[in-house]
Structure 1
Amino acid sequence: MRQPFGVFIRVDGLPGAVVLAQIAAMPYGMELPAVGACREGEVLWHDHNEHQVRVRLDEWKPPAE
């Protein structure tokens, strides 16, 4: 699901998790992933008790130096 503040992501094997890729981490000029697209990313933060996870999609990572 796409929202103005980010993209909610479904994670295989974790049906109750709320996973958000915040658009603040998205480089300028990139587009949000299409609904239903498969993506990989890095977990930046999680709350085990509330089953909440914040990720940065791999395609949004800054270039390696």
Structure 2
Amino acid sequence: MPEFSWPDRALMPASDAMDQSWPATVSALPLGSHVGGRVVGRQPFGVFLLLDGVPNAVGLAEITAMPHRMELPALGATVTGEVIWHADHNRQVKIRLDEWEAPG
């Protein structure tokens, strides 16, 4: 398995379905809400997630929210995190993963 890969198109929602569902996605996942999902793509800038319980929603956990000592989760990993932004231009829910939280 390569270290980095784009999400398999067969797993991803169609772009028109994402566009039509975007208002419902934003409503279902307000900033600060907790969400879970499965890693379906890994890139040097972060991981793409299919989000649990929210049809046609795609999450992105970017490395800008990742502590230096951490690594990107593996393809297929189940993760949880907090919604930190809604990127209207590409219909992505930005997530800060729980595993990236600084120990308190």
Calculate the TM-score normalised by the size of structure 2: 0.54
Kindly provide the amino acid, as one letter, of the partner of residue 79 in structure 2: R
- Distance apart, 1:14 and its partner CA: 2.5
Count the aligned residue pairs: 64
Kindly provide the amino acid, as one letter, of the partner of residue 53 in structure 1: V
Which residue pairs with 1:54 in the alignment? Answer: 94
Q: Which runs of 5+ in 1 are unaligned?
A: none
CA distance in 2, matches of 1:6, 1:15: 21
The runs of at least 4 consecutive aligned structure 1 residues that moved more than 6 Å come to none
CA distance in 2, matches of 1:42, 1:13: 15
- Distance apart, 1:30 and its partner CA: 1.4
- Distance apart, 1:15 and its partner CA: 3.6
Between Structure 1 and Structure 2, whose CA radius of gyration is higher? 2
Secondary structure at 2:56's aligned position in 1? strand
Secondary structure at 1:14's aligned position in 2? coil
Question: Which residue, 67, 72, 89 being the options, matches 1:32?
Answer: 72
- Whichever structure has more helix as a proportion of its residues is 2
Residues 19-42 of structure 1: CA deviation (Å, up to 9, x unaligned): 100011111121110100001101
Q: Which runs of 5+ in 2 are unaligned?
A: 1-40
Identity %: 60
- Whichever structure has more strand as a proportion of its residues is 1
